[in-house]
Structure 1
């Protein structure tokens, strides 16, 4: 692990993982802003933090080193002396308008001496009453500033940050630094930029994708099947053109990706099928949890190198998920375990609470949400070892244990 990154599967014993403990960004969620900020409800912060702490405790109990996003960013900025550059870019992407208001916000942010507290404030957002806003005093820009500041929030929070799976994805020894689907979440990828450029442990990681690329893609659509094989969802959040770009960078880049085959799964563009990992996740060498709605024939594209440099060979496969996954893994067969035990009511309810979105800590040992009792009972009966995460509040963000984690290192199987 020359750069500290090493992820060649979804199930190899987890060694190092990146999380973000929910913070004051959840206190800056209001009912009027929920849709824009991609939330369906407002979690109770105190309970959400206790649940997240239990999640981290369960992982540490399995020997996993837990890294926190906000600390990694702070370490990167301090090591490289790039806090000023980061601040200006964060302001550029904040949506804040008006020179005078921007200057007041920058002065406020610069006054936060501790770099980790500064990063946490970037995530939390800024309310109007926290800043001494300028008055017009005959200045047109200050008048515009005042007009821009009529809402309670000057800068939106980033409430989705505790879903560390999506802004970037570790593949092998490198990183997909994503261009995300929504403006509100794309701001989160700025943290990845500075970690993988400036952090002493990760600053030589190759980038298989860049946040300034033209097409959007997200980490929840990326599953590492083995060292040479990747599964990616063509979904509401990941465009086919992004997969083209990603494939070319992996196949012909100068950074030495080991990936030589990509399976692109065309899944419905809907909230229920938001990412590939809301459809299925791998939980053992030959077992997957799945959303029952994905059963039947799928359209999948197998992508390999073409005859000439830069040319992709694309083979369309129309087959069942079971057969495609078995072929991709080189197995005779795989077992698909249905969310909600296949019962349509239980499946719909527990899929809403991410019953198929599990985090594998080692083959056959997985983190699951406590509230998905029907699915969990089936998993127990199938011989899986469950690490049960309390989930009354964390689940309100519509993401499960896999969504809340980005592995930095896994041991080989």
Structure 2
């Protein structure tokens, strides 16, 4: 992918307006760090065939490009940013090297070593991590660092970030501002440091303003749906807490970026880790939704008020959303009445679609029943293969952070 030209308006106020610019991450050596020993800890259900995952991701990027979408690649932007900014280099190293894990002496020595690396090599370490075997040779550290002497060689001195693939979670754009999220699980927490580094130091994002950042209450981008201008739904479950949803709502209200936030409780389990694993928007008035929750999904409605936000509900999600959006009815396209098929396709991210225009979505090709029902409902479905990409439990929406859409 070529380096993007600088310039262009940034921001979005919906899930479905024409997609102009998107941030993806082409999977790399961080996926090669996955083993049967660590895959659970690193949140992967299998060990992806990395070469095939890269082929699948390249096809995803090429599909978007063919539809007029500018594709930014996180890895390329990271190399450029480190090369342009000493402050970015220091920020990335500080987030990656933990004195609590390595001890003061080894952490200091490793930081000094990383400062000498060329941009591409340093970016590789920040994304793919570093084992104790890969630490630079140092007779002094070998003599004085208990940490170095006691750790086995293939253990990580810097953890890899295989979930960088899912760029949706570490940031999102609303209006013409960006939000840096707080990721709930230890395996993913450092991802936001890279996103923050890009937005703070890459020329493409010069002048962009932050709307929200919390280091206390978790909010993940996969739980945030821009239902309509001024209306945001936030899933509350395994990854986003009630306190996080409330803090986000207050921030959006304070900055005039939303008038209503729908806090949507979802089951706290792996299959429904984010709201976008069970429901995504496919048109200005339509969602695709896992049928097992159509009748039970509810929402608390948080609205802006003069003194402090007002909370009402819960009420059925579909009706609460329609009322907030100012439409008569929110169309629901479910994945079929066969409970087994619906459950299988929900697990395989059948409900996790990326809208690139109203009524045009990207979906995994293997979810044939969901895709058929979308087509029957008038939605154009562009399919990609995800046999390896899906091993981390994420679909096209998870793998994409819209940086610019046409404003509705």
Match of 1:201, SS state, is helix
* 1:323 is aligned to 2:319: yes
1:87/1:207 CA distance change after superposition, 3 Å: closer
Unaligned runs of 5+ in 2: 1-5
Match of 2:187, SS state, is helix
Q: Which moved more, 1:39-48 or 1:284-293?
A: 284-293
Aligned to 2:26: 21
Aligned to 1:357: 352
Q: Deviation digits for residues 245-300 of structure 1, max 9, x if unmatched?
A: 22222222xxx442121111111111122111111000012221101221214331
Match of 1:194, SS state, is helix
Shift of 1:136: 6.6
Shift of 1:138: 8.8
1:396/1:144 CA distance change after superposition, 3 Å: closer
1:39/1:138 CA distance change after superposition, 3 Å: closer
CA distance in 2, matches of 1:409, 1:137: 47
Aligned to 2:229: 227
* 1:238 is aligned to 2:236: no
CA distance in 2, matches of 1:401, 1:14: 13
Number of aligned residue pairs? 403
Alignment of 1:263-278 (within 5 A): 263-278=262-277
Alignment of 1:25-36 (within 5 A): 25-36=30-41
Q: Which moved more, 1:115-124 or 1:86-95?
A: 86-95
CA distance in 2, matches of 1:138, 1:333: 67
Shift of 1:80: 3.5
CA distance in 1, matches of 2:125, 2:112: 13
Of residues 311, 328, 331, the one that matches 1:332 is: 328
* 1:164 is aligned to 2:163: no
CA distance in 1, matches of 2:271, 2:257: 32
Q: Which moved more, 1:323-332 or 1:273-282?
A: 323-332
CA distance in 1, matches of 2:337, 2:303: 34
1:226/1:174 CA distance change after superposition, 3 Å: same
1:50/1:108 CA distance change after superposition, 3 Å: farther
Of residues 353, 365, 369, the one that matches 2:364 is: 369
Aligned to 1:173: 176
1:84/1:297 CA distance change after superposition, 3 Å: closer
Kindly indicate whether the alpha-carbon contact (under 8 Å) linking 1:135 and 1:143 is maintained by their aligned counterparts in 2.
Answer: no
Shift of 1:154: 2.7
CA distance in 2, matches of 1:348, 1:137: 52
CA distance in 2, matches of 1:79, 1:150: 33
Alignment of 1:95-110 (within 5 A): 96-110=101-115
Aligned to 1:120: 124
Q: Deviation digits for residues 142-181 of structure 1, max 9, x if unmatched?
A: 2332213454433221000010000111111112211110
Of residues 339, 345, 362, the one that matches 1:344 is: 339
1:78/1:133 CA distance change after superposition, 3 Å: closer
Of residues 21, 33, 42, the one that matches 1:37 is: 42
Tell me how large the CA RMSD over aligned residues is.
Answer: 2.2
Match of 1:315, SS state, is strand
Kindly indicate whether the alpha-carbon contact (under 8 Å) linking 1:302 and 1:314 is maintained by their aligned counterparts in 2.
Answer: yes
Unaligned runs of 5+ in 1: none
Aligned to 1:396: 391
Shift of 1:93: 4.8
Kindly indicate whether the alpha-carbon contact (under 8 Å) linking 1:104 and 1:132 is maintained by their aligned counterparts in 2.
Answer: no
Shift of 1:100: 4.5
Aligned to 1:217: 219
